Structures are given as C-alpha cells and as structure tokens.
C-alpha cells in the first residue's frame, strides 16, 4: 500500500471515529434530556419563581403584585423574631446532627459485632425510618400526652417525674423533645450506612491489630474510624442538609410552639406564606435559607478538601 493510500485510510478512520463520537454525545444528551426537563420543572423553575416573588409584594397569589426591591429582605432582617428563629434553627440543626450521628455510630458499632441475634437486629433497626412520619408523630404525641401518655406513667413510676408534664407543651422541654423525636426517626438510616462502611473493613487489619495487642478503642481509632471517615464526611453533609430543611416533625407536633420555642425557618416560611398569606416574605425567607445553606456547604467542602490535602 502506497503512502498516499495509507494517509487516506487514516483520514477515513478519523472521520468515522469523529462521527461515532458525535453520535455518542448526541445519544448521551438525548438520554439525559428527560432528567434535565424534570429537574428544571421541579427544582429550577420553583427556585426562579421564589427569587422573583421575594422582590414583590405578593400576598395570597402573585397576581397583581408589584416590585418592591429589597423591602422584604430589609423587613425580615430587621425583625428580632427572625433572629430568634434563626437561633432556634441552629439549635435544631446542631442538636439533631449530634444525636443522630452519635446514636447512628454507636448502634452501628454494636451491630458490627458478632453475637446471637445480630442479623435480626440489623434487619429491624431500620423500622423507625420506614414508618410514615405522620404515623410516627401521632404515635409519639399520644405517648407523650400529659394525661394518658405512657412516657409520663413510666417516668412517674421510676421517680424521674414528681408530677405529669407536657413534654411538647413546656417551653423548657419542647425543643429537646422534638430533637429526640426527629433523631429517633432518622438515626436508623445513618446506622445502616455506617454499618455497611464498617463491614467493608478488611478483617486482616483487625487480626493484625490483635496480634500487636491493640485494645478495642485503639482498633476503633486507628482502623475503623479512618476507614469509614470518607463515608462519614459525605453522610454528614447530607444529614445537615436534611435536618436544616426538615419541616414535618415540628409542624405535626408543636407547629413552632410553645411561644415560638420550636419555631424554625422552614416552619416560618410556611407560616408567612400560607397561613398569614405574605407570600413574598415567605419567598424571601426561603431565599435567605438557601444562601445560608450554600455558604455552610461551601465552607464544609473547603474544610474537607483542606483536610484531605494534609
């Protein structure tokens, strides 16, 4: 074959290859298009509408609303009640994160051991998470009822209470109670994820540590924890986002009461937009929530990246 024929053959192969690549890219775009349309309809469009509403004075609906610029934001940021609710949201988020991650890690460590009935417990630990949230909240409202609740009865019998009390209706206990209820709902999922990460640790590492005489705490700190740390970093970010945006447990149990002691930002958005019909103020609060969440997520990702580089 002459040199010219070889060059022509190479050009043909290059053209055919480029055609295949273009067709692959087109096929990939067509396969992704339904997802793109769905995300645009469910996420991007509501987000854009919320941002636009936050600069208007819409009440019940957006019809007839006029532009007011940053007036909604200035009114919200000047409201002392907003900052109190923001502190409640911080307490809610940090408290839930600490309880859920702590309980999830502890139970995962327990279920990672070999003992009789471990497989049964690993199956049933997920039950609180699969129970519908509405049913879970109704169940706990009855159990915590001051008159007929079983929790009051048990605490009175063992001497933890001297008289019946409303855990959800008392200002000093309402936030802690809702944090524990929400954590009881979500910690099984964290347990399952961390347990899966623990069971991927090679058994040879533990055997080598036992040969060296390592204690159980040292095996945890030097083998288990470093191995599951990547999973915990991703899970921590997801858990913080879920907790920060959670709404239904607070709404079904206390609706932000008593006296705004359990009022958090997602509940405030619903209250402003759909109860007192200040739609634009609710949209402005949701935009502020999104900005805070993005800033926190960026700081967290930067921290993880810096820790990984070290």
- CATH number for position 159: 1.10.3720.10
Q: Residue 65: helix, strand or coil by DSSP?
A: coil
Is 21 part of any domain? Answer: no
Nearest-angstrom CA–CA distance, 282 and 269: 5
pLDDT of residue 72: 93
How many separate domains does the chain show?
1
Q: Which domain holds residue 160?
A: 80-309
pTM of the model: 0.86
Is 182 part of any domain? Answer: yes
Angle between helices 174-198 and 133-143 (to 10 degrees): 130
Mean pLDDT by 10 residues, the chain (310 residues): 55 51 72 84 86 88 79 94 95 96 94 84 88 93 91 91 91 94 94 92 87 85 90 91 93 91 95 91 94 89 78
Nearest-angstrom CA–CA distance, 168 and 254: 7
Q: Give CA separation, 193 vs 94, 115, 211, in Å.
A: 20, 20, 29
Is 5 part of any domain? Answer: no
Residue 173 φ then ψ, to 5°? -120, -10
**Would you state the structure tokens that stand for residue 121, as one six-digit string?**
């417990």
Is 9 part of any domain? Answer: no
Is 56 part of any domain? Answer: no
Q: Which residue, 248, 282, 301, 253, is CA-closest to 290?
A: 282
Q: Give CA separation, 283 vs 17, 54, 153, 266, 297, in Å.
A: 50, 5, 44, 11, 21
Is 61 part of any domain? Answer: no
């Amino acid at each position: 074959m002459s040199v010219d024929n070889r060059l022509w053959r190479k050009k043909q192969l290059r053209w055919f290859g480029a055609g295949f690549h273009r067709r692959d890219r087109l096929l990939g775009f067509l396969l992704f298009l339904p997802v793109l349309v769905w995300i645009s309809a469910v996420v991007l469009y509501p987000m854009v509408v919320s941002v636009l509403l936050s600069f208007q004075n819409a009440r019940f609906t957006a019809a007839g609303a006029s532009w007011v610029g940053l007036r909604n934001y200035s009114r919200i940021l000047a409201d002392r009640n907003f900052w109190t609710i923001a502190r409640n949201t911080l307490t809610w988020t940090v408290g839930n994160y600490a309880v859920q991650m702590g309980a999830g890690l502890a139970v995962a460590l327990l279920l990672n051991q070999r003992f009789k009935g471990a497989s049964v417990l690993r199956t049933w630990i997920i039950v609180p998470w699969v129970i519908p949230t509405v049913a879970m909240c109704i169940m706990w409202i009855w159990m915590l009822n001051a008159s007929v609740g079983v929790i009051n009865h048990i605490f009175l019998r063992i001497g933890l209470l001297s008289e019946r009390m409303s855990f959800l209706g008392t200002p000093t206990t309402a936030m802690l109670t809702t944090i524990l209820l929400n954590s009881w709902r979500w910690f099984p999922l964290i347990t399952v994820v961390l347990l899966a990460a623990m069971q991927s640790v090679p058994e040879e590492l533990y055997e080598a540590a036992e040969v060296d005489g390592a204690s159980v705490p040292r095996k945890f700190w030097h083998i288990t924890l470093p191995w599951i740390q990547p999973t915990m970093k991703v899970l921590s970010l997801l858990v913080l986002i879920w907790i920060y945006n959670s709404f239904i447990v607070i709404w079904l149990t206390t609706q932000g009461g008593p006296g705004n002691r359990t009022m958090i930002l997602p509940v405030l958005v619903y209250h402003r937009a759909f109860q007192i019909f200040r739609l634009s103020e609710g949209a402005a609060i949701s935009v502020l929530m999104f900005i805070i969440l993005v800033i926190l997520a960026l700081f967290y990702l930067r921290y993880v990246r810096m820790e990984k580089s070290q």
